[in-house]
Amino acid sequence: MAEVAVTEKEYRNLIAGEWVASLGGETYEDRNPADTEELIGRFQSSTREDIQQAVKAAREALPLWAETPAPERGRILHRVAEAVEKQKEELATVLTREEGKTLAESRGEVQRAADIFRFFASLGYLNGETIHSADRDLLLFTFREPLGVVAVITPWNFPIAIPAWKIAPGLISGNTIVFKPAQLTPLIGIRLMEALEQSGIPKGVVNMVSGSGSVIGDELVANPDVDAISFTGSYEVGRRIAQKAAETLKRTQLEMGGKNPLVVLEDADLDKAVDITARGAFGATGQACTATSRAIIVHDILEPFVEKLVERAKGIRIGNGLDSEVQMGPAVNEEQLEKDLEYIQIGRDEGAEVAIGGQRLTDGHHAKGYFVEATVFTDVRAEMRIAQEEIFGPIVGIIEARDFDQAVEIANQTVYGLTACICTRDLERAHLFVRKTNAGVIKVNRPTVGLELQAPFGGMKHSSSETFKEQGKDAIQFYTRLKTAYLGYR
């Protein structure tokens, strides 16, 4: 491995296989959101010049990597999976300290990252197809080639799984990568880079630069030597990236926010529906793009549903995710905490009722972190801001629906379309829901959160550019160009 990534808690960028300080000489602090007295480290506040160096390194490493046989690339990815798995406990602790989610959630995410590398490693054995030709002396076939230098720009909420599901298909396809982790979660990104180094990734094939989105993210989008951008984050930033990337005709893949609905019909198993709602709304502190933020409940079961969900929210133990008793961690930073509290006030002002929660926690061990209660709003109407805008906190609004048809109408009544769920035992209405709901992922009797890595994932409407899917074997399409060859051999 090249020189160390860290000196006295100051972490560096990975460029051309070397751990280097930013040319600008500036760093920033990253603190534990459950205990702000704990410094995670100091990270490079990188400049446009740092990105230019990283892009240059990726460009130089490209020819050799693109020509490396894909099964050989796959062997390296397999080793990454093993390296991540071997350090699972340590990486999960880093993730919890840096992002705040519980250790159980972090373990799941780290395991997911390892599994993703394993999945894409095996796709190195496949490429293109042969097609019957009308000419008897001709071989007609397709094959995929790498795109070139791919920029990977990721959010803080799944800071190892999302980079993994972009970097692994990018690498197996023969691209080189410049990775910009979210400013709030660079350390787990550095750990992933180290796993790649330990696995024998050649210098310059993967580069990582930390810092601000509006500076180094913007440079990645503008840089003419970057061929494509895979971005996950908010709609506002995604839209800006699409506009700017169009100037240099870059290929983009943008996966963005959500306002995911869950519908419960009168024939549902109520306890199961409450469990599915709570897992979707409060899991990962509601900081998931796939989180359940609108529970649309048909009139007949509204009262018992609210009662049971309130009971469930009341019992959630909130605290530092390193404590094994804790079920929900903090908001990721002060800004997100304030956003949660502001939306709780907006909901009240709009006339919705807080049935449970709604407060910041500051007592005892909560004093040093950004903790907010699991919050359930009742009397929410579909057009309210709390039912339309992405909050990204442990807050769910309950909206009453007359019947199935109205529930579907409400489910579709936002600009987003990421995931959706229905709880019912009625096969016909389950099918109709799958057909009529405008979301990229639709679930029946399963939470809006939680994805299988071997299935395609992506949103609709403002949740996605709808250009290419992520995850599953279809993910390869974004990272490759398809060529068709007519090989007349006589």
- Which residues contact ligand NAD (rule: CB under 6 A)? 153-158, 180, 182-183, 213-214, 217-218, 221, 232-234, 237, 240-241, 255-258, 289, 390, 392, 418, 459, 463
DSSP 202-229: PTTSEEE--S-IIIIIHHHHH-TT--EE
Cα–Cα–Cα angle for 392, 383, 300, nearest 5°? Answer: 95
- Provide the sign of the torsion angle of the four alpha carbons 477, 446, 287, 187, taken in this order: negative
Closest distance between ligand NAD and the C-beta of residue 188, in Å? 13
Considering only CA atoms, which of 253, 230, 211, 46 is closest in space to residue 150?
230
Residue closer to ligand NAD (CB basis): 208 or 298: 208
- Provide the sign of the torsion angle of the four alpha carbons 314, 316, 318, 324, taken in this order: positive
Written as six digits, the tokens of 48 are: 């446009």
Residue closer to ligand NAD (CB basis): 65 or 179: 179
Closest distance between ligand NAD and the C-beta of residue 355, in Å? 25
- 54 with 13: CB under 8 angstroms? yes
Q: Is 291 exposed, middle or buried (0-12, 13-18, 19+ CB in 10 A)?
A: buried
Does 421 qualify as catalytic in the annotation?
Answer: no
Cα–Cα–Cα angle for 317, 320, 322, nearest 5°? Answer: 105
Report DSSP state, residue 77.
H
Written as six digits, the tokens of 351 are: 């006339």
How is the chain split among helix, strand and coil, in percent rounded to 5?
40, 25, 35
Closest distance between ligand NAD and the C-beta of residue 287, in Å? 8
**Which of the following is catalytic: 289, 400, 421, 423?**
289
**Which of the following is catalytic: 99, 255, 373, 470?**
255
Written in H, E and C, the secondary structure of 243-307 is HHHHHCCCEEEEECCCCEEEEECCCCCHHHHHHHHHHHHHHHHHCCCCCEEEEEEEHHHHHHHHH
Residue closer to ligand NAD (CB basis): 41 or 257: 257
**Pairing verdict, β 360-361 and 371-372:** antiparallel
Closest distance between ligand NAD and the C-beta of residue 255, in Å? 4
Residue closer to ligand NAD (CB basis): 149 or 265: 149
Closest distance between ligand NAD and the C-beta of residue 455, in Å? 13
Closest distance between ligand NAD and the C-beta of residue 234, in Å? 3
Which H or E element spans position 112? helix 103-122
Closest distance between ligand NAD and the C-beta of residue 482, in Å? 24
Residue closer to ligand NAD (CB basis): 155 or 369: 155
Closest distance between ligand NAD and the C-beta of residue 332, in Å? 8
Q: Is 200 exposed, middle or buried (0-12, 13-18, 19+ CB in 10 A)?
A: exposed
**Which residue intervals of 371-426 are DSSP H helices?**
404-411
Residue closer to ligand NAD (CB basis): 179 or 371: 179
Residue closer to ligand NAD (CB basis): 174 or 213: 213
Considering only CA atoms, which of 170, 307, 279, 305 is closest in space to residue 227?
170
Report DSSP state, residue 125.
G
Closest distance between ligand NAD and the C-beta of residue 214, in Å? 5
Residue closer to ligand NAD (CB basis): 34 or 221: 221
Written in H, E and C, the secondary structure of 7-19 is ECCEECEEECCEE
Intra-chain end-to-end CA distance of the chain, in Å: 51
Residue closer to ligand NAD (CB basis): 22 or 157: 157
Active site residues: 255, 289
